[in-house]
Amino acid sequence: MTDPFDLSAAPTTEPEGIILGTYAAWRRELSYNDTVYSLKYVFTPLVSGAAVEVAGNRINEDFWSFELIGTATSAWATGQYRWDLMLTRVSDGEQYALYSGQIRFFATFSDRRTHAEIMVEKINGVLEGRAASDIESYTIKSRSLTKMSVKELTDWREYYMSEIRRTGGSVNSGHPTPKKNTVLVRFT
């Protein structure tokens, strides 16, 4: 059995999502000498808030490790972040972005839905409410309100459901939708 806290056995790619308040670690295969360079991840929220940084440690000639300690991340904000892996030249502090990507920080294990999954749920709620009260627009004195039509709502729902299917998420059933070229096998 592999020790999940053993950095030499940590995954060699960045995680797609992190539950704040829990431990996470990964490695990158990078041959930069730690006496000449330093490495760090800079996580910048896509909406608002302060960026957070995670410094790397060279574990051998070919790998650097990155660790997030649960107590340190528990105060971070949830949401979608852009990450940049920054290489810094120690001699003059000059920086270079080696790689970039995105990651989502979640508050709990129970709600790790994507934006598309959340939107499908919200649109379904609006459609259910519309079924109970069939008013699409109304006017009171000089003010009027027009809601999205059922057709517009179902078009939006189909758009988000196609996003979920494209990324392999869950469409209503709670089970992941297979990505293209995925073969599902069950042994009985």
pLDDT attached to residue 94: 97
Give the pLDDT band (50/70/90) at residue 5.
Answer: confident
Same domain, 124 and 90: no
- Please state, in angstroms and rounded to a whole number, the distance separating the CA atoms of residues 30 and 42: 17
For the segment 13-24, what is each residue's pLDDT rounded down to a tens digit?
898 889 999 999
Residue with tokens 């302060």: 50
Average pLDDT, the chain: 84
User: Is residue 188 situated within a structural domain?
Assistant: no
- State yes or no: pLDDT of 39 exceeds 90: yes
80: tokens are 């979608």
Task: Yes or no: say if 64 and 27 are a contact pair by the CB < 8 Å rule.
Answer: yes
pLDDT attached to residue 89: 97
Q: Of 22, 5, 125, which Cα lies nearest the Cα of 65?
A: 5
Domain boundary among 70, 85, 106: 106
Q: If phi over 0 gives left and psi between -120 and 50 gives alpha, with beta otherwise, what is residue 39?
A: beta
| Count of helix runs (H) and strand runs (E) in the chain | 3, 9
Task: Yes or no: say if 22 and 69 are a contact pair by the CB < 8 Å rule.
Answer: no
Same domain, 64 and 146: no
Output Rg (C-alpha) for the chain, integer angstroms.
Answer: 23
- State yes or no: pLDDT of 110 exceeds 80: no
pLDDT attached to residue 53: 95
Measured CA to CA in angstroms, residue 181 lies from 171, 173, 176, 177 at distances of: 18, 21, 14, 12
Same domain, 139 and 50: no
Give me the domain span that covers residue 155.
115-167
For the segment 90-105, what is each residue's pLDDT rounded down to a tens digit?
999 999 999 999 998 9
Interval 103-113 mean pLDDT:
84
Same domain, 90 and 124: no
pLDDT attached to residue 6: 87
- Classify 74 as helix, strand or coil: coil
For the segment 113-145, what is each residue's pLDDT rounded down to a tens digit?
778 888 898 898 888 887 777 677 778 888 888
Domain boundary among 85, 106, 127: 106
